[in-house]
Each structure stands twice: as structure tokens, then as C-alpha cells.
Structure 1
């Protein structure tokens, strides 16, 4: 009996009654259209006329269902009351013609079945209860209840409770079957169309792109800061008693590095809190402040530039170039034994070129399981700008090279 009176069956029954309630304005409008054809006769005095008005009401309801917002409202009710999994239903308004037609078909089906079941729910229980109590209240037999003639027989009252209970069970069965029918057809009529699936895939791709951008920012900013701070703290600890001036310089570099990184971290976390609004340009340091990065990087850097890239490169290119240099310095700190690094940044026609080199360590660096994320992130940064980046051994040095397009108006070059 669970499928008749269980929690899911009751919720689906409520969903049908909701459809019946929604059908009432359309039914009243349909009775207005039927009125001229029946003269002075009241539509509510005839079951046939009521069904006629209801038949006129359903096409009117179908027309109103072409409004885009009907689908999200219907989907919300189905998810809450019909037990249909979320993934099988579409999100958002119907944006195409086929989606609106399917939504109109669903709305008509819901209101049609809901109107019938709601009418039965109003009419059947009072009559069934009367039959159940008929043997106990003998005076009911002498009142005009409109019972069929079969109940005039002397043996009929004894069977009246059985008939009343059967009517209630039949009502519950009709409601359960109608609810199951709606639950079965909901994914078909309210499910995502190919256009909906494409739009959802584009939203997921855009969200993943934003998340990857934020992940790269956190990795490059925080990863470099931790590497620099660790190296400088270790060096200061080793000469704590012999070189106070070096310790003072190391602590100053640590302070500057952590202060800058906290600001960058706060910016990224602010974008994370914005959620969907974080899809615009991501703010961050550019080549204008590259000197501060190099001064507090924890390694000696021989820096040369050609063409004034800090002033002439577009902001997006300048920002990504800064991060690429930062990742190169982080790799030199982690794997290059803090050996001196040479850095060259040059504007060559329509391209910004970055070349970083540091000596290979005597011992092979320890590689984390699964590899790091820094160099793949550098390649992604360059690719998103339409450029290219690569890194690897080059003779007895480790070389990181990146080429980023800047447009024909950047100028520069030798």
C-alpha cells in the first residue's frame, strides 16, 4: 500500500492538486467561452458542460505556457514534489521554440490531470464517508442523499462501508497512477534540450576556466613566497651569530615578500567570494613592479631588458609575464640550489620574449609524485594569450622560454 499512501504518493497527489488549482482560472475563462452556446443554462449544473469548459481551458493554458518563466516554475514544483532527480530536468527558462512547445505540453498535461484528480478529491471522499457510516446512522437512509437505487434494498446498507472504502482506495490509485505518469513524463517534457546541454557545458567550461586562473594565481604567488621565505630564513639561521647584517637583510626581504603575497592572496580570495562575477580580468602585479620581485626573490638575478616591456606591453600580457617570471624564480629556488639566474625580457616586433636560465644542480631535484603544477600553469598562461612557453635542460643550464603576442603597436626590438 506504500505506492498508494506513501510519502512520495502523497507529495505527487499534492502536485496534482496544485495543477488543479492552477487550472481554475482557465476553467472559469473557458466557461465564458462556452456560455454563448448554452443560452441561459448554468455551466455548473451539468457535468458535460463542465467538461466542455475544461476542454476549452486547456488550449488556453497551453498558450500561456509559452512564456519562458513557466519552465523553471514547473521544474521547481516537479523537483520538490515528484521525486525526479535534479540532473534529469532543465535549468533556467525555455530559450528555444522546441523547449517552449515541450513546456506547453507539460503544463497542459499537469493542469489536465490535476483538474480531474482535484475534482475527484473534492467529490469522492464525502460520498465514500457517507457510505461507510450508513449502517451506523439509520436516519441517513431516510434523507435524500442521491444514492443509487441499489442502496434501497435491505441488504445494501451492510455492503455500503465496503463500497465506500473501495471508492477511497480507487481515488488513491487514480492519484498514484496520475502522479507516476507525470513523474515519468517530466524528464521528457522538462528535460534539457541539446541547446540546454550546450549552454550548460559552456557554463561549466567558463567556471572551470575561472577556477583554473585563480588556482594558477594562488600557486604562483603563494608558492613563490613560501619558497623565497624558506630559503631566506634558512640562510639567516645559518649565519645568525656571524653575519648580523645579512640576517637583517633576509628578515627585511621576508617581510616584503609576505606583505606583497598577503595583498595578492586577499585579491584572489575576494574574487573567489564573488563567485560568478569573477569572470573578468584578474587584477595582479605587472612588469611595473618586477624590480621589487627580483630584489626579494632570494636569488641573485642578472636582469636585462630590451624595448621597455614594462611600459609598452599590454596590461594582460604584462601581468602574465610577471607570473611567468615569478614561477621561473620559484623553480630556481626549489631546484637550482639558489644559483644565480639570468633573465632577459625583450619586445621583438609583435612579441614579448622571456628567457630565464640558471645552472643545473649537481644532484637531480626531488620531483613530487604526479609532478608539479607550476610549469604546466606557465604553459597555460602563454597559450591563453596565443603564445607559447617551454622549459627544460639546455646544455648545462635550465632554460625557461616564453613568447607572448603583444600586437603590432607595442614596438621595440633592436
Structure 2
């Protein structure tokens, strides 16, 4: 008892068959029908003298009568004509399937040619050469197609004594098949090269798109870090100053006025930095894009702003000149550390130390525990320190942050710099 075919095999077979059938083109069907009609007409009227017979194979011993210079008419009975019509239809109609089953088509065509008794006509020859061309162009492989054609040409040459065109010995069939086959191989190679070039172009385009998306993502992350640093610092300062102003508003209005003035200044600074940062994305006619981003040269202003919020800050620093990107990163380290101190330990003593050891800049910001009875101004999500670590990594730096053994918090950043950079005021 035969074993049933697994459904997966049947499904795969159906997919392959549908793929083959999808390759059939209406122009091929139209050409096949036209060639079939012409071949039948040629076969039927060839014996009456209406059309000359132009044999593909000229077989010796077949009775024939001359009808004119260069014309030969083959005497056939009705059964012979019917046989030739059937063979002509097989050869010509097979052209419709030349893209789907190219090697099968050429095998069927040559088998039909071998079955002729009086030779194939010109129309059948054209259909066969189309099959030869298609076998080289659409066959599974070039080597297989050329091997099959060479074998078919050899068999045809050995089967018949004389062929058309009239060339010495075996050369007639090869003179027809070889150029058409080589043409198909040439066109196939050109198509393969064109497809490879197209795929390379698509791969390059996809690579460029991926690089663009990566650059956009990195730029968005950078902008997010900038926005976080700017907004969180200044908002924290304004929140603390507003709280202090509310406490002394009735008892000491002059201190409240100073706090409100500091809030206004901090808000203006925030708007300036935000305008500059967002102006890089969508610059407007009034945006000053040449305004530099902050660096350690603005450290004193940053510290004064925090002191006005009630946070005692001490600064010790070595003079150093840093590249623009490194300078901005160093400033953001101090800014984020001061912001955290304001949030979690308002009023606690804070120290900033910036020194240079060999070719590395060390930035340390540490604060004492919050004074007794002082509640944290707000709680953070921790993304600021993550952003700082990412910034430092871009410049080969490192970040260490955590609670101090004696209480409080410590942020330590190390940034390598060029040993040839001149020292001086940042």
C-alpha cells in the first residue's frame, strides 16, 4: 500500500507549481498561437505549390519533385500531413511555456523534430530557436542549459545525414543552435550583473537609511539630555527660591524680593538656553545660533545661582582649557551634581573640586547630609546620572556616583584630554 504524501510536501509542490504558472506571459502565448497558425498554414499549403517548403532537416530517400529554382515540395498523404501538423503544434505552442519550463520546452521541441519524416519548416525552426534562447536565459543554470543543448545538437546531427543550412558534416545544427544559445547566455549574464548592481544599490540605500536613523536617534538622545540638564537644574533652583521667598515674605520682605529676583534671572537663563537648544532643531529668523553653549567659563555664574537658592557651595579648581564638547560635558557634570544636591540635601554644604592629573580632568562634587529637619525638595528619577555617564562615555570618560560613608552624596567624573592642550583659565 502506497504511503500518502505528507501535506507539507503537497503544499510545497503547489507553491512551486503556482510560481511556475505565474511566469507564463500573455505575449508568449500570443507568439505561440501566431507561430502555430503560420506553421499549420505552411504545412497544409506547402504541397500545393502555394508556399515553398524550407526544411530544417533534409532526409535522403524521400521522394520529392522540383517546382522551381530553390523550391522543393514534398509528396505526402493525408496521414503524413496530419502527423506534421501535430508535431508543428507541439513545437510552436510550447513557446507559451518557455519561461516556466525552459528546459522541458526545448527537450519537447527537439523530440518533435526527431519525429518528423520530411523535415521541419521555417516557422517551426523559429519556434525551436526561441526555445533554445529561452533555455539559456531562463534555465536553472547556464552550465546545465549549455550541456542539454550540446547533447540535443549532437543527437540531431547523428540522427540525420543532411541538415539545413548546408554545412560540412555535423556543423549545420550547431551553426543554428550555438549562436542563439550564446546570445541567451550573454543576456542572462547581463541581467544577473544588472540585478546584482541593483541589489548593491538597495543595500547601500538601506545602509544609508539605517545610518540616518541612528544619527537621528543619537541626536534626539543628546537633545533629551540637554533639555533634562537645563530644565531640571533651573526648575529646582526656582522651586527652592520660591519656597524660601514664601517663608520670609511677611517677616523679611527684602529677602523675599531677592529670591524673586533670583527666580526671574534663573527663568530668563532657562529660556535663553532652551531657545538656543530648540533653535538648532527649527531655527527661526530671530534665533542666535552663534551663541555658544555653556562651559566651565560660566561655572561662577552657575555657583552663584545655586548659592542664591540657599545652598552653600565652595569651589576649588585648577585652570584648564578644554575642547568645546569636553568643556560642555564638564559643565553638565557640575550642573547635574548641584541639581541633585539642591533636590535631596537643600542647605547642605557642597564642595566642587576640579583638578588635572597628567592628562585627565577630575571633577568631584560632594555634599554633606541635609540639615536636620530639612526635607528633600523633590525626588528624581535617576536619568540625569545615566545621561551624564553616556555623555562621558562619548569622550572616553567615566562616572562614579553614590552615597558617602560619612553621609551625603558624591559625584566623581574623569575625562581624558589632549596632553598638548594649554593650561589656563577655563
Give TM-score, length-normalised by structure 2.
0.48
Higher relative contact order (CA 8 A, sep 6+): 1
